[in-house]
Structure formats: structure tokens, C-alpha cells
Structure 1
Amino acid sequence: MKSFSLILGLLFMTSVSAQEIQMSETASLEQIYGEVQEAQELLPMNELGIEFGYALYETTVTAGEKNPVLALENVRDYASVYVDGRLQGWITEEKKTIALQMSAGEHTLQLYAENIGRITYGPEILDNSKGLFGSITLSGTEIENWKMIPLAVRECSVGELTFTPQANGGIPCFYKGLFTVETPAETYLDVSGWGMGEVWVNGHYAGSYWEQNAQQSIQLPADILQKGTNSLIVFELKSNGKRIMRLSDKAIFN
């Protein structure tokens, strides 16, 4: 009997660790947009009614030269940068400038910001503004006329999102894939190679990930898994072309 149980356990571990999850559908972020606010200057998240989470800062810019430099005064705590729907990179409080790969002329600039925590440490500990605020320039010229949109990522009911066959065009969105489980048991979701985001399994929030963290897996308790088909939904802030996740029988570390 012991041998039979051991063989069964090994079979489960093998099937889990070998299983790839193809993220074959996407859902647009427009479905979770909050109230759009407009202003000449960037507004911090607390002025957008956001205590934690995500916001989209969007505007139209006119570049006077090829590959201009974007510079921000305050980035709290992280933002991915897109031009015309193409990922350019990311900015943080330690890295507040980025050279944009774009031609001279008019372009759409989108900054998807995340407030990682409520308290700002260091010299600004008494200023707990989050998001993007203060001066923002493109090759030294101030950028104005912003649309700012709260993104209800963690607050949304992922089961009510409308998914379609993958055609998100490379911008941040929700991804969906299916996987099978023979016997529900604790396992891990390998998120290595992805950027930054959130994970739900069968409608249950499972956790968040960031490529700079040491641990590159999310623990999936047995009680959120079900025998047969399971659904995996992922919100990805840095849409970097990844379309596959994997299950693992052990935690993954950098």
C-alpha cells in the first residue's frame, strides 16, 4: 500500500511539474476602468481615490526628435512605459528616466503605475503620496494634459471578465489559460520569465509576482484546486511576449 501511494504521489508530481499552461485568451483592462480624471499635471494616486493598486496615466506627446528621453520627478513605486502600445521599459524611484524608442512626431504615451505599499520610507517618509506626480518632461519639455484612470485589478471579479482569443496587441491585460489536475494537492505556479502582476486560480486570488523578487513561484494550496479542469487568470503589467506558465512540484527561486 505504501508503494502504491508513493507511485501515485510521484505520478502527480511528474504530471504537475511537466504541465505547461498555454495562456490562450485575453481580457482588456477597459473592463475594469474606474472614473477617468483629467488634469494638466500628473496627480498622485491618493487624489485619484486609490489607496493601493494600479492606475493608467495617458496622454499624447509630440516628439521633436528621434528617441527622446522621458524624465519624471516622482515615481512611487513602479511604472511600465508604453508608446503606441509598445513596451519601452519601466521606471522606479531609483530610475526615473528612460530613452523612448520612437520617431519624431505625435505618439500616445501610457504609464501603467503600481503603488506597491502605503508608506514611503527614506527622506520622503512624511509624504505618502503614491503613483506619478510632479514634473514630467520629454527631452526637457514639460508634458501636460493627462488622462488618469484607476484600474480595479484586485477588486474586480475575474470570473465576470470577457475573454477572447488572444489579440491584446502587447499592452497590459488579463490572460487566461486552463490546466488539469488529477488529484488536488499543494503545488506551485512557476512565474519566471514574466514581469509583474497578479494571479487567480478558479476565481480565488493566489498572489502577486515581480521578476525582481527572489522567489519566482506562487504557492497554490490544494483547496483552491479541483479535480479535472482548472482556470488560471493572470494580470500582467509588462506585456513582454510571454504566453506560457508552468506548474511545479517545488518553489522556484532566482
Structure 2
Amino acid sequence: MMKLFLLWALLLLPVGLAAAQEIKMSQTAPLEQVYGETVEDDALLPMNELDMDFGYALYETTVDVEEENPTLTIENVRDYAVVYADGKLQGYLKDSSKSLKTNLPIGIHKLSIYTENIGRITYGPEILDNSKGIYGSITLGKKDLEGWKMTPLEIKECDVAGITFKEGASSIPCFRKGCVTVSNPAQETFLDVSGWGMGEVWINGQYLGAYWEENAEKTLEIPAGALIAGNNEIVVFELKNNEQASMTLTDKPIFK
């Protein structure tokens, strides 16, 4: 009788994933669906002047390149910026690295800089200057850049259930969606984001959290109840590694 009771108790224990399950992120949605109010100015404006306390913003302008592969330099980068030109990734900037050599031929190009405010300064001499985004002088080669369109990206505030997706890939930051069938949701399941760069994740419309490739842990823990038996939708906002096409569910955390 005791053996039967123990067997019955074991059957009732939560069962983990039998194997890692791949999630193909085959659908994309443009960020225009979560644009805030665009502000135009000749100068770069910090996020607080765009009525933003945190999150992401997009800075755009048109540039006339007169010499090949000019260097882009920004006076202030708070905290992280990803630079695209004509939809092609040029590189990354942060407070400790404010210049990058572009890969631009001579001609007219559209420059797009996606920025993220990672957090507020709470100590030290810079506590009195808590501006975020990119601001101050900005040059491309020897030319000062002007004529900016600056748009808050309402990523974290959005209802992902209301976003319209289409099949297909994208070479620029966007929302991506995939589905995975789970037959027996485990109490302890992780989303493996290895290979992805920086972004946010939702599961079945519920915000899961943020990831960054520089973090030691390469997984996000999925709380009990977030996954359901049957079809589950995973939505991702990715800022930089746009060639990624899949994520994975696993039953163990993964570290560098």
C-alpha cells in the first residue's frame, strides 16, 4: 500500500520539459505601432524633454556623407544606443564609448539611433545630471548633424495583444512573435535567449522581463502559470541582433 501511495504521489509532482523546445520567431511587427508623439528639433534632446522617464527612444535624421566611412561621435550617450543607417546596423554606443566608424559610402543616408535608458543614477557626482537618451553635440566626420525627429517608443507600456504581426523577417528593431505547444507546463521553466542582444519578452500577453547579452545568465525564468497547456505565444522586442530567428524553452538556467 505504501509503495502505491508513493507512486501516486510521484505522478502528481510537476514534470519538467522532456527536451528543449524551439520557438521559431517567424512573425514580425513594425515599431510604428507603438510610436509616441514625435518631436522635431535641430538639436538632440534628452529623454526628459521628450516627456520620458525611462524606456526607449528613436532619433532620426538624414545625412549627406561626403567622405566614405565617416566616424559618428555623440557627446552624451545615456545609457545605450544602437546605430542604423538605411536599415543596416552600424554599431553600438554607450557612455564609455561614444564614437564608432560607420560603413557608409558617399551619398544621402537615413540615420536611425535607437536608445535605451537602462536606469537612473542614484549616487556620485552625476546624480545632479540625470538626463537620459542622446544629447549635446553630434558629428559625422567633420559635419555637425541637425534636423532631428525624436520619437518615444512605448515598448514596455504597450499591450502586445493589440499588435498586428505578419510573416517575415526584419533587419531593424521590431517586435517578433512565435508560438510553442506545451503539453505539460512545468513549475520551473526557462526561456533561453542565447544569441539575442537586448530586448523585452512577453508570454501570452504577460510581461516576462528584459534581457541583455552582457548579463551572466542567458535565460529568463518563467513563473508558474505563465505557460498553459496547449498553444503559447511568445513576443519579443529585439534591439540589435536582428538575424536571430528562434528561442528555446528549457528546464534549467543557462549561464555564460
Give the TM-score normalised by the residue count of structure 2: 0.93
**8 Å CA contact retained: 1:87, 1:239:** no
**Identical counterparts, % of pairs:** 57
Aligned partner of residue 47 in structure 1, secondary structure: helix
**8 Å CA contact retained: 2:31, 2:174:** yes
The structure that has the greater radius of gyration is 2
Letter of the 1:177 counterpart: G
- Out of 184-193 and 204-213, give the one that drifted further: 184-193
**8 Å CA contact retained: 2:15, 2:184:** no
Q: CA deviation at 1:119?
A: 2.2
Cα deviation, 1:193-214, whole Å, max 9, x if unaligned, reads: 0000000000000000000111
Q: 1:128 to 1:203 in 2, by over 3 A?
A: same
Aligned partner of residue 103 in structure 1, secondary structure: coil
**Paired residue for 1:60?**
62
**Paired residue for 2:211?**
209
Aligned-residue CA RMSD (Å): 1.8
Aligned partner of residue 13 in structure 1, secondary structure: coil
**Paired residue for 1:187?**
189
**Paired residue for 1:198?**
200
Q: 1:5 to 1:242 in 2, by over 3 A?
A: farther
Q: 1:55 to 1:3 in 2, by over 3 A?
A: same
**Paired residue for 1:13?**
17
Structure 1 outlier segments of 4+, above 3 Å: 1-12, 120-123
Q: CA deviation at 1:26?
A: 0.4
Aligned partner of residue 18 in structure 2, secondary structure: helix
**5+ residue gaps, structure 1:** none
What are the within-5 Å matches in structure 2 for residues 1-254 of structure 1?
Answer: 2=6, 12-15=16-19, 18-119=20-121, 122-168=124-170, 170-185=171-186, 186-254=188-256
Letter of the 1:175 counterpart: R
Q: CA deviation at 1:118?
A: 2.3
**8 Å CA contact retained: 2:17, 2:251:** yes
Q: 1:79 to 1:5 in 2, by over 3 A?
A: farther
Letter of the 2:95 counterpart: E
Letter of the 1:57 counterpart: Y
Distance 1:44 1:53 in 2: 12
Distance 2:93 2:10 in 1: 49
Aligned partner of residue 90 in structure 1, secondary structure: strand
Distance 1:84 1:142 in 2: 19
Q: CA deviation at 1:10?
A: 9.6
Aligned partner of residue 125 in structure 1, secondary structure: helix
Q: CA deviation at 1:130?
A: 0.3
Distance 1:4 1:166 in 2: 47
Cα deviation, 1:51-99, whole Å, max 9, x if unaligned, reads: 0000000000011111110000000000111010011111000110011
Q: CA deviation at 1:7?
A: 8.2
Q: CA deviation at 1:221?
A: 1.1
**8 Å CA contact retained: 1:25, 1:166:** yes
> How many residues align structurally?
251
**8 Å CA contact retained: 2:195, 2:241:** no
Cα deviation, 1:107-127, whole Å, max 9, x if unaligned, reads: 000000000112265442210
Q: 1:31 to 1:167 in 2, by over 3 A?
A: same
Q: CA deviation at 1:182?
A: 1.4
Q: CA deviation at 1:248?
A: 1.1
Cα deviation, 1:180-227, whole Å, max 9, x if unaligned, reads: 111222200000100000000000000000001111110001211100
